Chain A
Amino acid sequence: MHDHHLVTDVMNSESVRAGLILFPIIIFMLYVGAVMRSNIHRKKWPMYRTLCMALGMICIAVSVVGPLAEEAHVSFIAHMLSHLLLGMIAPLLIVMAHPLTLLLRTLSVSKARMLTSLLKMKFIHVLMNPFIAATLNIGGLWLLYTTDLYMLMHQYLWVFVFIHLHLFIAGYLFTASILSIDPTAPKHSYGYRSFILVIALAGHGMLSKFIYVNPPAGVPLKQAEDGSMLMYYGGDLVDLVLIFILCLQWYKAARPRPLPVPHKMNL
């Protein structure tokens, strides 16, 4: 039975709902536990990071379970809002929460070494390259909305799960590779990261406008128009924050040093 109801039935069953609510709560509790452990020996973990983590987990929960998630099966606008939360806002908040930094602080030295050697793998470096991460992120969206994938997502449970996992992970990789807050792959230059950010934002905007006139299969035109504008302006708003943080990082890194500096600093 591969009809529309299967996905909604499974997603609305009590045990799945309970699991989807519990998962972000458990992650957040682990985070708070790690913060308390880190605070014993080290400099106090900034409060805003814990707040970001809490908000990020709420975004994830709201987008996968509850009224919005249920509405997203039938309304394209609700779908777009939940995607905005899961694919852009939650990743940004979680990146701001410095989760890997916290993990490295709390793990024992041997385990932290294992984690860093894992993060040094070529594979991770490739994924954390802003160009690759942006392609996975924006390219995935183009595939979702311009092929039959959007329709299949509502028919097959595994497609539904895969797409939502991909949406969050690709969003996270992209945000993390642009902001380079956690000590993972080597930082790329500000110019390169800015360039990729602008191209990715452009690709996002173009796709939004494309959807406005070419709705995914099964989406009524009016809903596609509203959803498209939500995607366009919602994406703008989140990217505004991304651009601001990236520029702020440059501003701090390029501060004039006490020693005389050559006047041609990198822009």
Chain B
Amino acid sequence: METNITKRSVTSETRYHFKMRNTISGYLFGLGFVAFFDEVVFHQLLHWHHFYDKSTTSIGLVSDGLFHAFSWFATIGGLFLFADLRRRSALWLTRWWGGVLLGAGIFQFFDGTIQHKVWRIHQIRYVDNVYIYDWIWNITAVIMIIAGLMITLRTNRRTKDAKHA
């Protein structure tokens, strides 16, 4: 515990300077992780999602390609930013988790509404009551967005307090 407190007093200044990078690192990792989870669990293990759904619009194909590529980059880039924050003793784990939840939630919401329903790249599962899956999918996404937003705003306030103190 004691080492934790001394460490915190040393790092407190640095992490406020790098608060944006903490958010970006978490955000990228969260987005990438959700996409990776989607690929591994829903495509490969459960086989719920299809590699190609014939009703996909062409914009859906473009969007899927772009997000798939970006999520790959985001996962790795986010983790390298995390390593960078650690070596600078600027890692602010609470804020980083806020970023993770924001990235994961926003991407999942976009995927569950625009990509699945409007551009029809694929459905969550090819069953009759797919709307139940859609609701669970999107409500989880909204919960993550709200939690991420709360954490980010709270850590923002703490930065302000620290600057005024």
Contacts and interface: CB of A to CB of B under 8 A. Distances in A.
Most buried by A among B51, B61, B69, B80: B69
Chain A residues touching B, majority SS: helix
B83 interface: yes
A42 interface: no
A202 B54 contact: no
Given A243-B77, A250-B80, A256-B87, A209 B65 contact: yes
A212 B51 contact: yes
A194 B81 CA distance: 14
Contacts of A197: 73
Contacts, number: 67
A236 interface: yes
Contacts of B70: 198, 202
B53 to A, nearest CB: 10
Given A212-B51, A240-B76, A198 B87 contact: no
Contacts of A213: 52, 54
Contacts of A198: 66, 69-70, 73
B24 interface: yes
Contacts of B51: 209, 212, 229, 232
Interface in B67-107: 68-70, 72-73, 76-77, 80-81, 83-84, 87-88
A112 interface: no
19 contacts: A194-B73, A198-B73, A201-B72, A202-B68, A204-B69, A205-B68, A206-B61, A206-B64, A209-B51, A210-B61, A212-B51, A212-B52, A240-B76, A243-B76, A247-B80, A251-B80, A251-B83, A254-B84, A267-B24
